[in-house]
Amino acid sequence: MIPDQEGPATPSGADRFDDEHYPAYTMGRAADMLGTTQGFLRSLDEAGLITPQRSAGGHRRYSRHQLRRAARVREMVDQGTAIDAACRIVTLEDQLYEAQQLNRSQGLANEGNTRD
């Protein structure tokens, strides 16, 4: 929420449509979307790649961000990569991306501090 904006402090249901980290998908729906089994999703949880949130009843709920990561692993597994190796590769890819973003933002901040 923008600090000076009036209205409720918590997001409404409509605000969550754009939130890629909102756990909107049940395990069954997530498996259907990925064309995989629920066991595959459980294995990603066990490997530590994704940690789904739990509903009040204890059911796993997945976000779009988590499903994108799971889809990347599935592509690698379908090409013959072991699931543990695929999870590690995806984790390293994400860490590299975050480091590159940080370097870019620091580089831009440093450019503003240089004098000609």
Kindly state the helix (H) or strand (E) to which residue 71 belongs, with its residue range: helix 64-78
The fraction of the chain above a pLDDT of 90, given in percent, is 72
Distance CA 83, CA 90 (A): 11
Would the CA dihedral through 4, 5, 11, 14 be positive or negative? Answer: negative
pTM: 0.76
Q: Identify the pLDDT of residue 4.
A: 41
Q: Decide if pLDDT at 1 tops 60.
A: no
